Structure 1
Amino acid sequence: MPVLVRFLLRHAAIGMGVAAVFVGALAAFDVFHLGALMSGSPDGLLALAVLTCALGITFGSVQMGFAVMLMGEDEQPPNGRRAPLNRLRPIPVRVRARR
């Protein structure tokens, strides 16, 4: 499997794990009575699975985006193919003041 695919899958799995912990905390701390609602409903496990999958997709995508954006480029010295850019230097210009 290519290195970049493994990289993305690893970070997607990290995001899924964070989402599972987040949903577990929501249910355990009974935020907005979600835990009581899920435990009292016959379809509570289905609701828990749907919430976990939805947040897993979201957190996995965010984690993959963070990982890609934080990838750095290797700093390599110039190899002589590009001409160095001259730095811009300010030039004083006289301007008359008008009313």
Structure 2
Amino acid sequence: MVAWIKSDGDLAQRTNTTRFHISQDRHEVFVTVAKYNQEYLDYLNNKLPLSLKGDSSFLTMHQYGPWKTPNKSSVTNLGAIILAITLRAEEEIKNEKRAV
């Protein structure tokens, strides 16, 4: 996840602070949602030490699933989630283009 964040440009790092990762293990699909903030980006770029005060400056990741691919209702549910993620990504791309 860190490599993915670091591979993006500065604008994408600052504006897309929620990342979605879809993975598969055999017949099961998982969705991982990662969130971070500007303090975490500063830490990654060696601009300031990461605070240990218990604030939310860390990368947090939550995994959802599994959705089982042989199960029709499970795949239908997952399809709706993937569509929502795709629509969100499309909106983020439009916002980035407007900001440039």
TM-score by length of 2: 0.36
Higher strand share: 2
**TM-score if structure 1 supplies the norm length?**
0.37
Structure with higher RCO (Cα < 8 A, 6+ apart): 1
